[in-house]
Amino acid sequence: MGTQWQLETWGSPPAALRAAEDLVRDIEQRCSRFLPDSALSRLNRDRRIQDPLLADITSLALEFREATAGAFDPAVGDAVVAAGYDRSMELVRSSSAGPARDAVGHPAIPVHGDVIELRGPGQLDLGGIAKGWAVDRVGRLLQDAGAHRYFVDGGGDVLLGGERDEEELVELCTGGYRVGVRAGGLASSSTLHRRWATAGGDAHHIIDPRSDRPSAGEWVQSSVLAPDATTADVLATALLANAEAALPALARRGAEALLVAADGHCMMTPGLARYLR
């Protein structure tokens, strides 16, 4: 997943940490766009695959597409590639800009049990959900192994669970804001960091599904506090892609958010104030 992970657990055996590492590696091996033999790459190439883990994540991604009125859309994979994000970020930044092209479309993505299909042109991209989903799965693994408290940080997607006498202080996306959290998920997203040069100017990895191009809205950074890391990750992405469509999903999902504009001014949901420290 191209990120550093940090795990802290109280009450589970050391073997649980090894199992958590194996789980993260397995999810990456199956969901990465950059591994030619991953389940996701084979699906995008062959248009059909049977894989229970990929089917679970894809089904959840489609639920979030509905919940965010399309602001989050796993069918924008070809738009991500068309924007230039067709290799790992290190390679994208170190390479010369290639010729620009338009995305070819959004495929329909029927899921039947463990089988996923792609119908019509385009690709599936799970980059906006797989990391949060992996963090939640690691938390569940640690809890099932006997942890009475745990902290999982998957490259900035954070999950806290179990019993705590004191809050954990976690930084939000910018401005020195911190929240006090005892349990739940937190994720941030930004259009300012994963950027690269293209023939048409700078691009970034947050795609607006309405235009199939990197989002150009008012908000450039977001942080979301939610009951789980998957929800936090997805909504942080969706808010930058199309805040108007995504904002109503926050209340329905029990989430709070901070949004930051390019000029530095901020907007937060009313409920976030009680977590600020």
Give residue-wise pLDDT tens across range 61-88: 999 999 999 999 999 999 999 998 888 8
Q: Enter the pTM of the model.
A: 0.94
Stretch among 39-53, 61-75, 201-215 having the lowest mean pLDDT: 201-215
pLDDT at 260 over 80: yes
pLDDT at 173 over 90: no
Per residue in 38-49, is it b (16+ CB within 10 Å) or e — as a string? Answer: bbbbbbbeeeeb
What torsion do the CA atoms of 160, 163, 166, 172 make, to the nearest 10 degrees? 10
CA distance 176 to 193: 18
Domains annotated on the chain, with CATH = 5-275 (3.10.520.10)
CA distance 211 to 244: 15
pLDDT at 1: 63
pLDDT at 197: 83
